[in-house]
Chain A
């Protein structure tokens, strides 16, 4: 029975990926086909992982996401109550404290995640863009946290803004990103930068799901097998999932070695 359901589900997905006769040139049908092939449900939310996914390193990314969720939740409460609330209310101070410590946890685990992925050379196998989106996410997060410090409306934000202005002004950026302008910094902090972080994080996650978790580095030449760029085509199994991934098995002449 369960086999029938699975078979039906796969058939349904394949059906959805294929445009109806006559619709082959429809943008919507082609986009749907591309998305379904790139990220079928089994890849988008898999319940199995390769046996090598067995280390605490794999937990750093999910803890970072959990901390980001806490940042967004506590930040949303601070937004609902307004920027002055936490200065005059003990409940507000508590929420602000949770927001601050969520940020500290977020960066702690994000940096661990970054180091972990570096030492795993996690950009191998057409995963360079996954690495790049991760770094961009890290950089934008620094900006988001920085504008948060500027939006505190206390001595710390006064000092940080008056010091940081010189660096930003020296690059010309300060003319448009005025760290002394509380209103501008607050909007960057509560709207623009969080949206960018979330969007880039979503892209990063979709890439991770699309490519899968990078496989272990070979310990020896024998582990490594033949040079990848000469045997990727031949050695790839006629695997339906790989084929459905829309070109993930397109060779690895990417100089990872």
Chain B
């Protein structure tokens, strides 16, 4: 490309202020052609990558899978982790049951110093795990199951203290329980009240896939909101174990990883990194602390041109000399051709 002559020489134009239009030498530059070439190159690259590597698509976890699987670290028999989790939903000791806003008022949420934005915003997506995940689905099944209807009636008419005794006893017994040939859970003799009937029926619903449908159908015919089933599944160990095996858990930089060996959201590396370092990696307020750090860093990046010191880094690390190597060489050549030393700055 041949340079066209501007009104000033290269050296003279280079000394003009940054905010004036360049009136030194210019060269033909075909932006439209450059874009088309880039588009074709990227299209070819993307097609090749898609053909060679395809894309990951690990099937989603269902409650049915969860209830029929023994791969969880918390399951000695198929569905043990599911039942244990359902029990915590029922007695209010699960993560979701004590989460706090935006799902319920049973927890305080995370705090940044004295401030809890979570509390300030309040409950916007109401979730009552005992009712939504256990009792409501069982009530649906109870319409054609008198034994279950009686068990539910007994449970719901009991005092909270009595309910707690039953669920606690059942929870202790579950650790050594087994699955009978008829699909019911065999427990050591004890005072479990109506809880065994309820848990057996819930496990049966889960195994047939009826619970998946029930949790979704509780919204409306065209449901697209998976908040409740996802919260329920996430309260168990099955999902976490599967994620751990796919190197996706929090302590494995999981947020930026992808299933298999595919690149994930590598651009989240900084956000993910804060979860690996103290105190955030063990803090009960770790999420809001990481977000606070990232917000501050984002503001630094956004307003970097205004921040003394940071905005001077490009001058201290002379990467720019490589970027504009040709320009500086041309400047030197022009000065050599002129046979004069570089013009001193005007006074």
A residues sitting closer than 8 Å to B (CB atoms) are 45-55, 57, 59, 62-63, 65-67, 69-70, 74, 86-87, 93-94, 96-102, 104-105, 107, 111, 116, 118-121, 123-126, 128, 131-132, 135-136, 139, 142, 145-146, 149, 152-164, 166-167, 169-172, 174-176, 178, 180-184, 186, 211-226, 228, 231-232, 235-237, 239, 241-242, 245, 248-252, 254-257
Q: In whole angstroms, what is the CA distance A104 to B45 when docked?
A: 11
Asked if B49 is an interface residue, CB under 8 A from chain A, the answer is yes
Asked if B58 and A101 sit within 8 Å, CB to CB, the answer is no
Point out the residues of chain A lying under 8 angstroms from B47, CB to CB. Answer: 98
Contacts of A178 in B (CB 8 A): 102, 125, 225, 227
CA distance A134 to B262 in the complex (A): 27
Set B23, B45, B117, B239: member contacting A159, Cβ < 8 A: B239
* Nearest chain B CB to A236 CB, angstrom units: 5
Q: B324, A142: Cβ atoms under 8 Å? A: no
Are B231's CB and A155's CB within 8 A? no
Minimum CB–CB distance from B69 to chain A (whole Å) comes to 14
Q: Mark B7-51, 1 if CB is under 8 A from A, else 0.
A: 110100111111111111111111110110011011101110111
Question: How many residues on B have C-beta within 8 angstroms of the other chain's C-beta atoms?
Answer: 121
Q: A121: nearest residue on chain B (CB-CB)?
A: B314
A87 and B57 contact, CB distance less than 8 A: yes
Q: Which of B291-330 contact A (CB under 8 A)?
A: 291, 298, 301-306, 308, 311-315, 317, 319-321, 323-328, 330
In the complex the two chains form, what is the Cα distance from A17 to B48 in whole Å? 48
| With A51-B3, A216-B14 as contacts: A172 and B345 at CB distance below 8 Å | no
Q: Is B78 an interface residue (CB 8 A)?
A: no
How far in angstroms is the closest Cβ of chain A from B51?
8
CA distance A175 to B119 in the complex (A): 11
CB distance from B315 to the nearest CB of A (A): 6
Q: Which residues of chain A are within 8 angstroms of B263 by Cβ–Cβ distance?
A: 104
Find residues 59-107 in chain B having any chain A CB closer than 8 Å to their own CB: 59-61, 99, 101-102
**CB-CB < 8 A to B248: which residues of A?**
156, 159
A221 lies within 8 A of B59 (CB): no
Contact B17 A235 (CB under 8 A): yes
Q: Is the CB of B230 closer than 8 A to any CB of chain A?
A: yes
Task: Look across to chain A and name the residue whose beta carbon is closest to the beta carbon of B260.
Answer: A156
B327 touches A66 (CB 8 A): no
B14 lies within 8 A of A126 (CB): no
B291 touching A171, Cβ below 8 Å: yes
Query: B interface vs A, CB < 8 Å?
Result: 3-4, 7-8, 10, 13-32, 34-35, 38-39, 41-43, 45-47, 49-51, 53-61, 99, 101-102, 109-110, 117-118, 120-125, 224-227, 230-231, 233-234, 239, 242-243, 246, 248, 250, 254-255, 258-259, 262-268, 285, 287-288, 290-291, 298, 301-306, 308, 311-315, 317, 319-321, 323-328, 330-331, 342-347
Query: Bound complex: CA of A59 vs CA of B176, how far in Å?
Result: 65
* B residues less than 8 Å from A65 (CB atoms): 35, 38
6 contacts between A and B (CB under 8 A): A50-B13, A50-B26, A51-B330, A155-B61, A170-B110, A222-B342
Complex contact B290–A167 (CB within 8 A) = yes
A155 to B254, CA, bound (A): 13
Nearest 9 pairs between A and B by C-beta? A183-B224, A125-B18, A225-B15, A123-B305, A97-B50, A172-B121, A175-B102, A49-B29, A170-B288
> Which partner residue on chain B sits nearest A109 by CB separation?
B42
Q: Which among B7, B99, B345 is the interface contact of A226 at CB below 8 angstroms?
A: B345
Q: With A and B bound together, what is the CA distance between A105 and B57 in angstroms? A: 20
Whether A225 lies near B109 (C-beta < 8 A) is: no
Q: A86-B57, A102-B42, A170-B109 are in contact. List 16 more A-B contacts (CB 8 A).
A: A49-B26, A49-B29, A50-B22, A53-B29, A66-B43, A70-B42, A94-B50, A100-B262, A101-B46, A135-B301, A136-B302, A152-B57, A180-B231, A186-B224, A226-B346, A232-B20
Q: Residues of B contacting A241 with CB < 8 Å?
A: 21
- B305 and A131 within 8 A (CB): yes
Residue pair A175, B27 in contact (C-beta under 8 Å): no
Which one of B10, B32, B230 lies within 8 Å of A51 (CB-CB)? B10
Q: What's the Cα separation between A175 and B103 when bound, in Å?
A: 8
- B314: chain A residues at CB < 8 Å are 118-121, 217
Chain A residues with Cβ below 8 Å from B35 are 62, 65-66
Closest Cβ neighbor of A86 among chain B residues? B57
Chain A residues closer than 8 Å to B259, beta-carbon distance: 154-156
Q: Which of A155, A178, A242 has the most CB of B within 10 A?
A: A155
